[in-house]
Structure 1
């Protein structure tokens, strides 16, 4: 290996693992298509209906299955091969995107089609998200590389979040939303091929104790009886419920407040992606898990300030600047919380804990989307985001006050697992 390659693996040690490199390459391509589809969907919905409420409804249907089904998805992930599960979910997601493309290209697409296919995608995500989160530890050959792998994942997601909307906005303006759906469907070929190219150890089937409902209950008891995990899940719930409503309200700002079009929407989403990518790169280059609690505490404040600034702006450059902070705060919250939970969880409960994290994150977004759409239709999108920003800042302050007590509980676990040397 060249000295340059050695430096890269020292800086990004997770890339030493071949399976992780394959995962990184496949996901990197596919996620660009996913973000293009997300942008195209909200633009198409607003074009068809001109309704903030319908934006909320579509956002609700796409992710509400995660709220109800993620805990059972976690039980499934703890009992069956995560590798084979992911291959299945990626094939189904490809079919969903190609169905959207066919309907849009033939010009017959209606709002109920979008709602039905969004609901189908939600069912896929309820199983895919916990499987994906729990599969990452199987991809790295060294346990100490896990935190770096999770941080690289976040960087990859938000690199796609930067590139995808920018390309999507241009494509929508030039040739229409249908081609975004088509490219997304074809991009799944890359991740499926990467998964099939991996050499994965045979899955060790664990003996299940109790029925699925009992296992779901065991996961809840484990998570909520441990104060650090409980605090992380509650803060994640608040941020997802309030802080991420901006994702379905941005088209209103792009068209009605900033007097732009699809390209403006793409620029706003890309600006959020730049902030998120910056945060992801910072997390990927951190050398220690210590201090992650302070990042989790700070992130909602950054997000809240960005939301308030964006809601007050009527000038595109200022709006783009505010969206940088929205993206930065969002990724610091999501990735830092994920890193923390993956680091301390007991292995036999990993799938169930990550399903609860999925429930607190993805599962609460639909409720937030629906609430945001209803509130925005009554008091306006700008006032809605101001309320959201204030709620995030309050949550940040409450968590920060709990942090010293939570840190005392967590440090001995880090020592026991050998993640850090003695920190006493």
Structure 2
């Protein structure tokens, strides 16, 4: 099996104790058989690869349409019902299939040609946008239509997400994987700068239906890009054969890898409780600032600007250390708490920029560290578990956060989400420090690093094997 030079095939779960111990000690993902590969070609190095350029071009078009639909969908539900909880239900239904069937999507992605799968899933996503456009423009749309469309879109995403995540390495190879994942995020956030602004104008001028129509048509671009790829230039990855027990095999693989388990646990808490921005922003715009769809689009655009900065910084970064993941999660939670207490609109709006930046850093760092530490034959299943936990927790978190927001106000709802993210970052950080044999050192002297994790001092009588067992 080969994926090109520097192929990142990992050893079997029982054979890499030393790699896991070293990874935990230095707070970075465990290498497979060699140090983590990294591109030295600059921020946009992956774009030199023709297949990836086609993919990225198609994605920026469809991502813009997707963000237009998200804004229009949230505002349509709020207009039809007047309830933040209803917005939360829509979000929950869109991610419920990932929670229920996400791991099966990973099995399908590992078994089937990913390029062919993506052509089918992108076409299905386009059809959901067109269906919602017809219902809205004809004046027949009801809230249950939006619920149903969101659920169908979630079913398609179950297969699309792990296939798309795992397909990146086939386009660029392991050496450029981190750069490509970061550029994918920059691509998504660039579309997020444009989509909400365009959606706000469209909703105000002609209604939500035109945003849905443009989103449906936008999927022509990624489908064309996938069909125009040169298959001979894709990095070959062996597909998992059909067989029983592949789902359990994937779970056992992750369970034996602390460098995979704890990042997934952290993003699970943050994805479930800390990323409910459709609920919070609609509530702030409607109930706190008493504004309209244009303001909602502007707030999303500001957050996207911060996310784009975070993505470009991640593309330049040479490593994906777990301490960066924990630190970004901690700052993300604290900023959410601060924004919830913001005294004015402009302070609230300004805080959304760093919130977007650190939220994106969490996503990219967790994504790349997990992909680089995973055997290529298991990547679809591992990434489906990652996405299932990251976005699949939304059906649990969104209705709860929506209820808290409706019952106690937008500020309390936002503050509660930030508090959960903060506590999760502290808890996982302490666990990783313990697993890695580290302790917190505080040194307030001038010229010293004031706060740092350092290796625990080991008594001379303690054998090395004992430390290895703890680490």
* TM-score normalized with structure 1 length: 0.90
Matching residue within 107, 127, 148 for 1:95: 127
Preserved CA contact (<8 Å) 2:283 2:405: no
Matching residue within 222, 243, 246 for 1:191: 222
Does 2:51 match 1:16?
Answer: no
Q: 2: CA distance between counterparts of 1:397 and 1:268?
A: 28
Quick one: structure 1 residues 40 and 359, their matched pair in 2 at CA, closer, same or farther if it must change by over 3 Å? same
What is the deviation of 1:369?
1.0
What is the deviation of 1:170?
1.7
Output aligned runs, 1:251-270, within 5 Å.
Answer: 251-270=282-301
Equivalent pairs, count: 397
Q: 2: CA distance between counterparts of 1:64 and 1:185?
A: 22
More deviation, 19-28/193-202: 193-202
What is the alpha-carbon root mean square deviation over aligned residues? Answer: 1.9
Preserved CA contact (<8 Å) 1:242 1:368: yes
Counterpart in the other structure of 1:294? 323
Q: 2: CA distance between counterparts of 1:375 and 1:206?
A: 45
Counterpart in the other structure of 1:412? none
Preserved CA contact (<8 Å) 1:229 1:341: yes
Q: 2: CA distance between counterparts of 1:15 and 1:107?
A: 43
Deviations, residues 170-202 of structure 1 (Å, cap 9, x unaligned): 221111111111111111111111111101248
Q: 2: CA distance between counterparts of 1:207 and 1:106?
A: 46
Quick one: structure 1 residues 406 and 281, their matched pair in 2 at CA, closer, same or farther if it must change by over 3 Å? farther
Output aligned runs, 1:131-170, within 5 Å.
Answer: 131-140=163-172, 142-170=173-201
More deviation, 26-35/387-396: 387-396
Provide the secondary structure at the position in 1 that maps to 2:429. helix
Unpaired runs of 5+ in structure 1? 1-7, 410-424
Counterpart in the other structure of 1:63? 95
Does 2:310 match 1:271?
Answer: no
Deviations, residues 340-395 of structure 1 (Å, cap 9, x unaligned): 01111001100000000110112112221111112222222211211111111111
Task: Determine which structure has the larger helix proportion and give its number.
Answer: 1
Matching residue within 155, 159, 162 for 1:127: 159
Does 2:348 match 1:319?
Answer: yes
Deviations, residues 290-324 of structure 1 (Å, cap 9, x unaligned): x5222201122222122222222352211111211
What is the deviation of 1:231?
0.2
Provide the secondary structure at the position in 1 that maps to 2:231. coil
Deviations, residues 255-298 of structure 1 (Å, cap 9, x unaligned): 21011100110111111101111100100112x22x52222011
What is the deviation of 1:127?
0.7
Counterpart in the other structure of 1:386? 415
Preserved CA contact (<8 Å) 1:40 1:172: yes
Quick one: structure 1 residues 207 and 107, their matched pair in 2 at CA, closer, same or farther if it must change by over 3 Å? closer
Does 2:61 match 1:29?
Answer: yes
Does 2:382 match 1:353?
Answer: yes
Preserved CA contact (<8 Å) 2:43 2:312: no
Q: 1: CA distance between counterparts of 2:428 and 2:379?
A: 24
Quick one: structure 1 residues 61 and 193, their matched pair in 2 at CA, closer, same or farther if it must change by over 3 Å? same
Quick one: structure 1 residues 209 and 302, their matched pair in 2 at CA, closer, same or farther if it must change by over 3 Å? same
Preserved CA contact (<8 Å) 2:170 2:237: no
Does 2:239 match 1:210?
Answer: no
Output aligned runs, 1:99-110, within 5 Å.
Answer: 99-110=131-142
Quick one: structure 1 residues 204 and 328, their matched pair in 2 at CA, closer, same or farther if it must change by over 3 Å? closer
Q: 2: CA distance between counterparts of 1:345 and 1:204?
A: 13
Counterpart in the other structure of 1:282? 313
Q: 1: CA distance between counterparts of 2:43 and 2:163?
A: 27
Preserved CA contact (<8 Å) 1:280 1:331: yes
What is the deviation of 1:208?
2.5
Provide the secondary structure at the position in 2 that maps to 1:198. coil
More deviation, 245-254/41-50: 245-254
Quick one: structure 1 residues 207 and 375, their matched pair in 2 at CA, closer, same or farther if it must change by over 3 Å? closer
Output aligned runs, 1:364-383, within 5 Å.
Answer: 364-383=393-412
Preserved CA contact (<8 Å) 2:71 2:199: yes
Unpaired runs of 5+ in structure 2? 1-39, 439-471
